[in-house]
A and B are shown apart, each in its own frame.
Chain A
Amino acid sequence: MLIRCDALSVAYDTSYVLENVTVHIRRGEFVGIVGPSGSGKTSLLKAITGAVPAARGSVEVVRGTRIGYVPQVESVDWNFPITVGEVLAMTRTKRRWPSITRAEREEASHVLESLGLAGVQGRHIRELSGGQQQRVFVARAMFGKPDVLLLDEPTSGVDVRTRHEVLHLLHDLHDKGTTIVLTTHDLNGLASHLPRLVCLNREVIADGPPRETLIPEVLERTYGAPLHVLEHGGMPIVLDHDYEVSEVMRDAARDLRNERKQPR
């Protein structure tokens, strides 16, 4: 077991954001944490990193485990005067000189290249596309050669294309052996594609594969509202409001049009 959260409670001042949460994560797993805003998803990630203390219970991470943390892109100051190369190099704080060494530059190039970001090392972070920006922060985490990657809302505020890019990237990293834990609001675009989901609302409501967790009973307890679930291509689709319904209808209409265009 790489990470063990046992009966974990986390509080800010006197109000608890997590209560009695037990989640165990094995090496090589790919886990999504879902839940409404304020359900304690980010607090759980922060507790794993040690950034917030446990009020009760415990968090144990195997000694020597390197953690890479990828913050929400919305929390990044995109106007900060900094290049992609500097973003990666800043993590190597043990070096007592400002300049980036040749070895560091080559290593950064290698990491960036592996994430499809070749040639951007000298560019300002604002000059990149949404998908590239997200990947730069994954690259920064990867630059520290992490055993486990924690991502806070990796697809929040990004367009559909970027969401696909991020999802493929994470699957690639997982295939190469990185343990991944992420939080997301995106049930259909991201969560339903993951092998294991933890449904959280201050406490763990359910823990298992999407087929067992993205079901109306669990979702109603997690989100506090009735949600419908359809199945499409063997995957659950959660209909949470009109937008999603219309999206499904649009997809269905497009499939129908394509079908009609096919030569008989």
Chain B
Amino acid sequence: MMSAITWFAVDLLAPYEFGFFGRGLVAATFAGALCGVLGVYVVLRGMSYIGHGLSHAVFGGAAASAVMSVNFFVGAGIWGVISGVLIGRIARRRILGADAAIGIVTTASFAAGIALLNRYGQARKSIEAVLFGSVLGVSWGDVAAIVVVGAIVAVTLIVSYRAFLFATFDPQVATVSGVRVSLIEVTLMVMLSGTILVTMRVIGTLLISALLVIPAATARMMTNSFAKMLLIAPALGAASCFVGMNASYHLDTSAGATIILVAASTFTAVYLFAGRRARTRVASLHHV
């Protein structure tokens, strides 16, 4: 019995012998917390589809920067921020129907990225790395980028907590009360773009939107308080990434996909065991 426990413990700790796993784990856990906290605003503002679209739009910037030999963070960052602000404006002004406009902007950007990599880049390898992430290939530089963006997001949201809450809950009255709602929206889109930028190499473009939505939606079922949701969602995001990373090593599956499956399983468990009222809360979340 003892030897079985020892074997189990040794087996569980086996991946930690590899330095790249430790780096990947730290990067993924911070990325999960970061996506979780921003996900609260994404979900409550009905921006889930924007988050999804933005992660695809940033892919175009990543591809362009790879082809033009520009620094990944600079190229994809500029592309991402421009796309984010553009999407935010389209969504707010309802120029064309937000769904359609976001679909056009982001899929065009995504397609441009694929075309560029097909034509000029080492297409297959680069596309797979950006689409699905390569968490085991992250450097300490990637970890530092996530921590820096996380710190900026945390300080911004703490210092301007009430303004962000007011603009999220009631933008019309917030404007009347002197809150610069458009500045808040731009700041949020810039933070979202920055988050997608630094986390896309960890979990990949395709799965970022899931990490933005699932922990926040799960947290919504667990509480009726905005402040608590801001604590629960990043905790769930970080825990999903931590558990998902470890599970992916033992199951020999993709880290990004396993992380999302853990987050989705948590959502399902909370959905099944939460009461009817809790389920109603998440049912009322709107999209776009």
A interface residues with partner B (beta carbon < 8 Å): 46, 49-51, 67, 69, 71, 75-77, 79-83, 86-87, 89-93, 95-98, 124, 140, 144
**Cβ contact of A86, chosen from B177, B226, B280, B281, cutoff 8 A:** B226
Which residues of the partner chain B approach A83 to less than 8 Å between Cβ atoms? 224-225
**Cβ contact of B162, chosen from A71, A81, A98, A144, cutoff 8 A:** A98
Which residues of the partner chain B approach A46 to less than 8 Å between Cβ atoms? 176
Residue B188 at the chain A interface, CB threshold 8 Å? no
Asked if A76 contacts B170 (CB within 8 A), the reply is yes
Secondary structure type dominating chain A contacts: loop
Which residues of the partner chain A approach B159 to less than 8 Å between Cβ atoms? 96
Shortest CB distance B232–A (Å): 10
Q: Roughly how many angstroms separate A51 CA and B170 CA in the complex, as a whole number? A: 14
Asked if A80 contacts B173 (CB within 8 A), the reply is no
**Cβ contact of B224, chosen from A81, A89, A90, A93, cutoff 8 A:** A81
Q: Which residue of A lies closest to B161 (CB)?
A: A98
Which residues of the partner chain B approach A89 to less than 8 Å between Cβ atoms? 162
Asked if A98 contacts B158 (CB within 8 A), the reply is yes
Which residues of the partner chain A approach B44 to less than 8 Å between Cβ atoms? 80-81
Which residues of the partner chain A approach B173 to less than 8 Å between Cβ atoms? 69, 71, 140
Task: Show 25 residue pairs from A and B whose CB-CB distance is below 8 angstroms, ordered by the A residue.
Answer: A51-B175, A67-B176, A69-B173, A71-B172, A76-B170, A77-B169, A79-B281, A80-B169, A80-B226, A81-B226, A81-B229, A82-B165, A82-B225, A82-B226, A83-B224, A86-B226, A90-B165, A90-B169, A91-B177, A92-B162, A96-B158, A96-B159, A96-B160, A97-B158, A98-B162
Residue B2 at the chain A interface, CB threshold 8 Å? no
Chain B residues 159 to 193 lying within 8 A of chain A, measured CB to CB, are 159-163, 165-166, 169-170, 172-173, 175-179
Count of chain A to chain B residue pairs whose CB atoms are closer than 8 Å in the complex: 72
Residue B227 at the chain A interface, CB threshold 8 Å? yes
Which residues of the partner chain B approach A87 to less than 8 Å between Cβ atoms? 169
Interface string of B95-126 (1 = CB under 8 A from A): 00000000000000000000000000000000
Which residues of the partner chain A approach B161 to less than 8 Å between Cβ atoms? 97-98
Q: Roughly how many angstroms separate A98 CA and B179 CA in the complex, as a whole number? A: 16
Q: Which residue of A lies closest to B44 (CB)?
A: A80
Asked if A93 contacts B166 (CB within 8 A), the reply is yes
Asked if A95 contacts B162 (CB within 8 A), the reply is yes
Which residues of the partner chain B approach A75 to less than 8 Å between Cβ atoms? 172
| A90 touching B166 in the complex, CB below 8 Å, given contacts A81-B44, A97-B161, A98-B161 | yes
Asked if A79 contacts B284 (CB within 8 A), the reply is yes
**Cβ contact of A91, chosen from B166, B172, B226, B281, cutoff 8 A:** B166
| A124 touching B170 in the complex, CB below 8 Å, given contacts A67-B176, A98-B161 | no
Which residues of the partner chain B approach A86 to less than 8 Å between Cβ atoms? 165, 225-227
**Cβ contact of A144, chosen from B163, B177, B227, cutoff 8 A:** B177
Most-contacted residue by chain A among B44, B160, B170 (CB, 10 A):
B170
Asked if A49 contacts B226 (CB within 8 A), the reply is no
Most-contacted residue by chain B among A67, A82, A124 (CB, 10 A):
A82
Q: Roughly how many angstroms separate A98 CA and B160 CA in the complex, as a whole number? A: 8
Which residues of the partner chain B approach A96 to less than 8 Å between Cβ atoms? 158-160
